[in-house]
Amino acid sequence: MTFTLRASIVLSLALGCAAVQAKPLVVCTEAAPEGFDIVQYTTAVTADAASEALFDRLVRFNPGTTEIEPALAEHWDISPDGLSYTFYLRKGVKFHSTPWFTPSREMNADDVLWSIQRQHDPKPPWHAQSGRGFPYFEAMEFGKLIARIEKLDSHRVRFVLNQPQAPFLADMAMGFTSIYSAEYAEQLFKAGKQELLNSQPVGTGPFVLQRYAKDAQVRYTSHTDYWDGEPASEKLLFAITTDPNVRIQKLRSGACNIALYPRPFDIPALKADDKLKVLELDSLLTAYVALNARHKPLDDVRVRQAINLAFDKQAYLGAQFGAEGASPAIAPYPSTLLGYNSQLEGWPHDPQRARQLLAEAGHANGISLSIWTRPGGGPTNPNPSLGAQMLQADLAAVGIKTDIRVMEWGELIKRAKNGEHDLAFMGWAGDNGDPDNFLTPNLSCAAAQSGENQAGWCDTEFDQLITQARETTELQQRAALYRQALAIFHEQAPWIPQAHPKQFSAISRDVEGFTLSPMGSNNYAKVKRH
């Protein structure tokens, strides 16, 4: 054995004993981050590169679940009326020291106030600085929800809401509530360089941005003073690799250790490769067809049930997502979420019963309906025209004549909001793992009135249950309410729930500590190579 070889073995053993891994963790990502000022963005890759790697929030999701646990807030109180949330901030939390900023103090209430007020308060100078607005803050209607934010002392902050909202805690775990350094913001403002917030970020998160080479790589080093313990890998590198095939080849050749988002059709081959591991999880996506209950004869529950019975879900899933790409949907949200009613069984594919139901409803001679779908595919509907044709054939088999209308997504949403459609292929991407995030925007009576609920279906009992659940902070009680609500949804059949597409990642066998999150975000704080 040569001296160099011996020396390198001794060295690697010595390094192997150290707590922090010297081996860099290389992740092949699907795209380049758009920036690092996360509140301006909504894409998954930007969330991974910014909110997960660089920032923390007051609370966070327990890895791999939708449960909330403390993060920058050690604990919190909720007033009995559900209107006021007091967060007790963790002490000793350090911001990143970077070539562009050296913090003089630890994280405190001022940082929390700055981070939320910037989005909430239209006063200059920071609100207008984001030319893109604050898409998530606006989409979650935080402007209307939050009445005010108060600093009680240096480590206590109170959020006062305009109405009780149990999912508020889950909202506070989302990327757009990341805590920025107010001190750094002031430094940038004084220097007249506010735009640098997007390219030279400072957070409290597990990794510190070292360098971003546009469209090529993002380099991080570990934040050694991280409040949740030093990250498991000393270096984290994102290799931006847009082609899914190439990501897999790079994983196979060892050029990266984690390949995100392999295509569902490649999964069987990846599973057969014993050098790799495939992780999979139901994502917070629901593909469905909204049945417009405002239109006759879809106002008759028997017709809606008949359509569900006529639909061959298994064949549809296989053709759209591949053998393993999606789980069949029964309810509006996947089974990983609170209050999922596991006693529900999906409508079977039973054309004969469908025909019977139609006859009972007085439509033995058949009916005519329109099917609306979009031209280009998306995660919940990879091949819209194929999907629409499959539904058309299923419905034709029970005597329902349909014509397919393909229209641009924006136009479809607008006209479906006006209730012009009969059947419309839709999708929903959940944001925070809270059931309310699926139910209220899509199935409440208020949404039926505003048109967001494309089924136009308004069931007072269902609506009361979800309203009550939204205002209840006790988890068991909430879960029970949702189970009842889902039973009504199933019976009333305002949708054809189609699929919950799965998310996949392929990793090399030496990677440990990596879990997929139902929210679709990837956090590498506890991931290392052995």
Chain residues that interact with another protein, rule: CB under 8 A = 24, 26, 31-32, 34-35, 40, 42-43, 131-133, 135, 138-139, 195, 198-199, 210-211, 213-217, 219, 237, 239-243, 245-246, 249-250, 252-253, 255, 285, 375-376, 378-380, 408-410, 413-414, 417, 426-429, 431, 452
Distance CA 277, CA 19 (A): 24
Q: Which is nearer to another protein, 151 or 415 (CB)?
A: 415
Cβ closest to another protein, residue 213 vs residue 323? 213
Q: How far is the CB of 452 from another protein (least distance, A)?
A: 7
Q: How many CA atoms lie within 13 A of 224 on its CB side?
A: 6
What is the residue whose two structure tokens read 């909504």? Answer: 42
Shortest Å, Cβ 39 to another protein = 13
Task: Write down the least CB distance from residue 417 to another protein, Å.
Answer: 6
Q: Which is nearer to another protein, 244 or 346 (CB)?
A: 244
- Beta-carbon neighbour count of residue 69 at 10 Å? 11
Beta strands in 103-253 (DSSP E): 146-153, 156-161, 207-213, 217-222, 235-240
Residues 168 and 61: beta-carbon distance below 8 Å: no
Least separation in angstroms between residue 525's CB and another protein is 19
Distance between CA 121 and CA 129 in Å, rounded? 12
Q: Give the ranges where 273-360 is alpha helix by DSSP (H).
A: 301-310, 313-321, 351-360
CB nearer to another protein: give 252 or 405. 252
- What residues does 291 pair with on adjacent strands? 423
Which of helix, strand or coil describes residue 359? helix
Distance CA 275, CA 257 (A): 11
What per-residue string of b and e applies to 300-311 under the rule 16 or more CB within 10 Å gives b?
bbbbbbbbbbbb
Burial category of 323 from C-beta neighbours within 10 Å (exposed 0-12, middle 13-18, buried 19 and up)? exposed
Q: Least separation, in Å, of the C-beta of 271 and another protein?
A: 18
Residue 395: Cβ within 10 Å count: 23
| 149 touches 120 (CB < 8 A) | yes
Task: Provide, rounded to whole angstroms, the least separation between the CB of residue 238 and another protein.
Answer: 9
Nearer to another protein, 24 or 82 (CB): 24
Helix (H, G, I), strand (E, B) or coil at 432: coil
90 vs 118, which CB is nearer to another protein? 118
User: Considering all CA atoms of the chain, what is the largest pairwise distance in Å, rounded to the nearest integer?
Assistant: 90
In the complex with another protein, the residue whose CB is nearer, 290 or 481, is 290
Provide, rounded to whole angstroms, the least separation between the CB of residue 501 and another protein. Answer: 10
Nearest residue to 93 via CA among 77, 70, 114, 116: 70
- Closest approach, Cβ 23 to another protein, in A, equals 10
Min. distance of Cβ 466 from another protein in angstroms? 19
Shortest distance (Å) from residue 165 CB to another protein: 18
**Residue among 82 and 451 whose Cβ is closer to another protein:** 451
CB nearer another protein, residue 29 or residue 204: 29
369 vs 412 by CB, closer to another protein: 412
Q: How far apart are CA 496 and CA 275, in angstroms?
A: 40
Half-sphere exposure of 424 (CA within 13 A, CB side): 28
Pairing of β 326-328 and β 73-78: unpaired
Helix (H, G, I), strand (E, B) or coil at 31: coil
For strand 285-291 and strand 495-508, is the pairing parallel, antiparallel, or unpaired?
A: antiparallel
CB of 470 to another protein, least distance (A): 19
89 versus 412: smaller Cβ distance to another protein: 412
Residue 81, class by beta-carbon neighbours within 10 Å (0-12 exposed, 13-18 middle, 19+ buried)? exposed
d(CA 336, CA 340): 7
Residue 98 C-beta: closest distance to another protein, Å: 15
Which CB sits closer to another protein, 81 or 243? 243
Among candidates 262, 212, 159, which has minimal Cα distance to 503? 262
376, two tokens:
């280009």
